[in-house]
Amino acid sequence: MKDPIVEIDNLQKHYGGSKGFFGRVRKPVKAVDGVSFTIHPGEVVGLVGESGSGKSTVGRTLLRLHEPTAGKIRFDGEDITHATPQRMRALRRDMQIIFQDPYSSLNPRTRVIDIVGEALDLLGPLPKAERSERVVQLLEQVGLTGDHLRRFPHEFSGGQRQRLCIARALAVRPRFVVADEPVAALDVSIQAQIMNLLVDLQREIGIAMLFISHDLGLVEFIADRVMVMYLGRVVEMAPARELYANPRHPYTRALLSTAPTVDPRAARARKRELLQGEPPSPANPPSGCTFRTRCPFAVDACAVERPAYRQVGAGHFHACIRDDVAGGQVVPQVA
- Residue 51: count of CB within 10 angstroms of its CB: 9
Q: What does the domain layout of the chain look like in residue ranges?
A: 247-335
**In this predicted model, what pLDDT tens digit does every residue of 37-75 receive, in sequence order?**
999 999 999 999 988 899 999 999 999 999 999 999 999
Amino acid in the structure at residue 28: P
- Sort strands 95-98 and 176-180 into parallel, antiparallel or unpaired: parallel
Using alpha carbons, select from 191, 10, 170, 199 the residue that is nearest to residue 94. 170
Single-letter amino acid code for the residue at 10: N
Residues constituting the chain: 335
137-173 confidence digits (pLDDT tens): 999 999 999 999 999 999 999 899 999 999 999 998 9
DSSP element (H, E) containing 71: strand 70-75
The model's pLDDT over 167-220, given as tens digits with 9 standing for 90+, comes to 999 998 999 999 999 998 888 888 888 999 999 999 898 999 999 998 888 999
Give the CA diameter of the chain. 78
As a whole-number percent, the residues of the chain with pLDDT over 90 amount to: 63
Rounded Cα distance, 179 and 209, in Å: 7
HEC-encoded secondary structure of 234-289: EEEEEEHHHHHHCCCCHHHHHHHHCCCCCCHHHHHHCCCCCCCCCCCCCCCCCCCC
The whole-angstrom separation of Cα 303 and Cα 298 is 9
d(CA 282, CA 33): 9
Answer whether 35's CB lies under 8 Å from 10's CB: yes
User: Quick one: pLDDT band at residue 83, thresholds 50, 70, 90?
Assistant: very high
**At 149, which amino acid appears?**
L
DSSP per position, 143-161:
T--GGGTT--GGGS-HHHH
What's the predicted TM-score (pTM) here? 0.90
Q: What is the pLDDT of residues 255-298, one digit of tens each?
A: 988 776 655 565 555 666 777 778 888 888 899 999 999 998 89
